[in-house]
Amino acid sequence: MARIFVAPVSLGLGDLVVSLPAVDAVVLEAAHTGDEAWLVTRAASQALLAERIEGLAGWVDEEVLAPPAAADRVIDLRDHPLQRDFWWGSPEFERAVGRLGINDILARICTDFGLDADFTRPRPLRARPRPGLEESVVLVTDSDGAFKHWSAEHWSSLASEVRAWGLDARVVTRSRPAVALGGDGIAAVCAPTPGDAVDVLTACRAVVGLDTGLTHIAAQQGTPTVTISRASSVYFRPWPHTRVVTGTACDDACVAAEAAYAYNDHVSLRGFTPRPRACPADGVCLAGIEPATVAAALQDLV
What total of structural domains would you count in the chain?
2
Task: Report whether 181 contacts 134 (CB < 8 A).
Answer: no
Task: Report whether 240 contacts 256 (CB < 8 A).
Answer: no
If asked whether residues 98 and 178 sit together in one domain, one would say: no
- CA torsion, ordered 19, 25, 26, 29, to nearest 10 deg: 180
If asked whether residues 276 and 140 sit together in one domain, one would say: yes
Q: Which of 97, 112, 127 is the last residue of a domain?
A: 112
Q: Which of 67, 97, 112 is the last residue of a domain?
A: 112
130 in a structural domain: no
Q: Which of 60, 80, 112 is the last residue of a domain?
A: 112
If asked whether residues 246 and 294 sit together in one domain, one would say: yes
- Report the candidate in 216, 231, 234 with the shortest Cα–Cα distance to residue 98: 234
How would you class 285 by CB atoms within 10 Å of its CB: exposed for 0-12, middle for 13-18, buried for 19 or more?
buried
245 in a structural domain: yes
> How many angstroms separate the CA atoms of 94 and 86, rounded?
9
123 in a structural domain: no
291 in a structural domain: yes
If asked whether residues 68 and 213 sit together in one domain, one would say: no
117 in a structural domain: no
235 in a structural domain: yes
Summarised one tens digit per residue, pLDDT across range 29-84 is 999 999 999 999 999 999 999 999 999 999 999 999 999 999 999 999 999 999 99
> How many angstroms separate the CA atoms of 229 and 253, rounded?
18
- pLDDT bracket for residue 167 (50, 70, 90): very high
Summarised one tens digit per residue, pLDDT across range 108-152 is 999 999 999 999 999 999 999 999 999 999 999 988 766 688 999
Question: What is the domain extent for residue 22?
Answer: 3-112
Task: Report whether 234 contacts 262 (CB < 8 A).
Answer: no
| The predicted structure's pLDDT at residue 265 | 94
If asked whether residues 7 and 75 sit together in one domain, one would say: yes
If asked whether residues 100 and 143 sit together in one domain, one would say: no
What is the enclosing helix (H) or strand (E) of 18?
helix 13-18
| The predicted structure's pLDDT at residue 193 | 97
122 in a structural domain: no
- pLDDT bracket for residue 276 (50, 70, 90): confident
If asked whether residues 144 and 292 sit together in one domain, one would say: yes
Summarised one tens digit per residue, pLDDT across range 1-24 is 899 999 999 999 999 999 999 999
Kindly list the distances between the CA atom of residue 265 and the CA atoms of 86, 87, 98, 196, 259, in Å, as whole numbers in the listed order: 8, 9, 20, 34, 12
If asked whether residues 198 and 68 sit together in one domain, one would say: no
- Report the candidate in 193, 194, 184, 219 with the shortest Cα–Cα distance to residue 204: 219
Task: Report whether 255 contacts 276 (CB < 8 A).
Answer: no
If asked whether residues 43 and 177 sit together in one domain, one would say: no
If asked whether residues 177 and 292 sit together in one domain, one would say: yes
CATH code, 237: 3.40.50.2000
Task: Report whether 188 contacts 172 (CB < 8 A).
Answer: yes
This model's pTM is above 0.85: yes
Cα 53 → chain centroid:
15
If asked whether residues 150 and 270 sit together in one domain, one would say: yes
Task: Report whether 223 contacts 201 (CB < 8 A).
Answer: yes
Which three-class secondary structure state does DSSP give residue 154? helix
Residues β-bridged to residue 4 = 37, 73
If asked whether residues 151 and 105 sit together in one domain, one would say: no
190 in a structural domain: yes
